[in-house]
Amino acid sequence: MSDLYDAGVEAFLSGNLSWTTDEIRALLIDVADYTVDLNGDRVLDDIPAGAIVAVSDPLTGKSATDGAADCADYKFEEVSGDPCEAVVYYHHTGNAETSTLIAYFDDSFGLPVTPNGGDINVKIDHNGPNKLFHL
């Protein structure tokens, strides 16, 4: 399943979130410790800390064209821990109680992946119509 969290869509539509100017990060998630609820989960604090295996640096090269969100390819550095079956994107505010969840992916980016202490690279389909995701 790949889809958007209701909270993220609401934030985009109400003008409270800008894909191109706000700090957006990605999480590697162990789904054994997190069951996604796209309607009910709203902020980073709704994801149990034990489910978060790695956090990316802020995404770069972000653009929004024809309703499609895109960003530069990125990596999770020196990842170790539980197997990861999902990636979550969120608006990083520095506070888990106010960091809005944006998108959930568990069927792309080479998932699942078992960390081995090395980097995990994420390649975005820059040529596809949806790029990273489409509103």
In tens, the pLDDT along 63-86 reads 999 889 999 999 999 999 999 999
The token pair that represents 77 in the structure block: 């550095």
The pLDDT of residue 116: 95
Number of folded domains that form the chain: 1
d(CA 80, CA 9): 31
Residue 97 lies in a domain: yes
Residue 38 lies in a domain: yes
Residue 128 lies in a domain: no
Residues 46-63 have pLDDT tens digits of: 999 999 999 999 999 999
Residue 43 lies in a domain: yes
- State the residue range of the domain holding 100: 2-60+81-116
Residue 23 lies in a domain: yes
Residues 77-115 have pLDDT tens digits of: 999 999 999 999 999 999 999 999 999 999 877 789 999
Residue 89 lies in a domain: yes
Residue 54 lies in a domain: yes
Residue 50 lies in a domain: yes
